[in-house]
Amino acid sequence: MASVAESAATHALRNVLQRVQQAAERSGRSACQVRVVAVSKTKPIVAIREAYDAGHRHFGENYVQELLEKVPELPADIQWHFIGHLQSNKAKALVAGVPNLYMVEGVDNPKVASYLDRAIAGLGRRSLKVFVQVNTSGEESKSGVEPSECLELAKHVKFQCPNLEFSGLMTIGMLDYTSRPENFKTLVDCQAKVCEALDMPKEECELSMGMSGDFEQAIEMGSTNVRIGSSIFGPREYLTKT
C-alpha cells in the first residue's frame, strides 16, 4: 500500500496535469502540446521515484552536483532537464555524467554554448537540445540575455554549435518566480523575431515559461514547457547548492 506521502504527491502531480490540460484547452491546444518538467531540486530520490512510478518522465534540476548524485540512483529512461545557471567549467561534467540529459534550458551566453558543444563532440553523443534563456523582467539578479540579444545567441547556437539543437527560448520571470503577462509577451515577441530571422516554424521554437505560481497563464499565452516544483513536490528544502 502506498504511504500517505506517496499518495499526496501522486495526487498533486495528477492535479497539476489536469490544470495543464485545462489551460492548454483554453489556448486552443491539447495537453500533449505542453511538456511538464517536474522540478526536483532539493528533493530526495524517493520523491522523484514516486512521480516516476506515477508515469512521469521529464524532471528538472538546478545544480550540477546534485543532478550527478541523483542520476545513478534513478531509472535511465528519465529525461533530465538542466534548468539552473550553468557555468562553462561545469559543462563537460554535466554532459559526461548525465547520459540521459534531454535538454539544457538555461544557455545564456556564447561561451557556455560553445563549451557544451565541445563536450558533446568529445563524447560522441547525439546532439543536445538547448533553450536560450532570456531575461524578460530586467532584473539584474536574473540570468539570461536581454531580449534584444536573443537572436544573436540563437544564431550562435544554431550555426556555430553543430552538436547543439536550438529548440526554443526560456525565461524565469520575476524575483518571486511569478511573471506578469508582459514578461510572457516579451518571450512570445522574441520567438516571433527568432523564427522570422532563422526561417523556423514556430512549432520548432518552443517557449519555456511558467512555474508553480503562474503556469496556467503561461500556457494560455503560448508556453510549451512549464517547470513545476512545489505544486508537485511541496516546499523546497535547500540542502545542496553546488
- Can you give the length of the chain in residues? 242
- The DSSP output letter for 217 is H
Contact 116, 164 (CB under 8 A): yes
Helix 181-198 with 150-160: angle, nearest 10 deg: 40
Residue 86, by phi and psi: left (phi above 0), alpha (psi -120 to 50) or beta?
A: beta
* Cβ within 8 Å of residue 234, ≥6 positions away: 9, 12
Q: Can you give the pLDDT at residue 241?
A: 45
In the chain, what is the straight-line distance between the N-terminal and C-terminal CA atoms, in Å? 36
Rounded Cα distance, 59 and 121, in Å? 24
Q: Can you give the pLDDT at residue 240?
A: 46
pLDDT in tens, the chain (242 residues): 444 444 577 889 999 999 999 999 999 999 999 999 999 999 999 999 999 999 999 999 999 999 999 999 999 999 999 999 999 999 999 999 999 999 999 999 999 999 999 999 999 999 999 999 999 988 776 789 999 999 999 999 999 999 999 999 999 865 454 557 888 999 999 999 999 999 999 999 999 999 999 999 999 999 999 999 999 998 876 554 44
Global confidence as pTM: 0.92
Q: Can you give the pLDDT at residue 15?
A: 96
Rounded Cα distance, 147 and 161, in Å? 21
Q: Can you give the pLDDT at residue 235?
A: 82
- Counting beta carbons within 10 angstroms of the beta carbon of residue 202, is it exposed (0 to 12), middle (13 to 18) or buried (19 or more)? middle
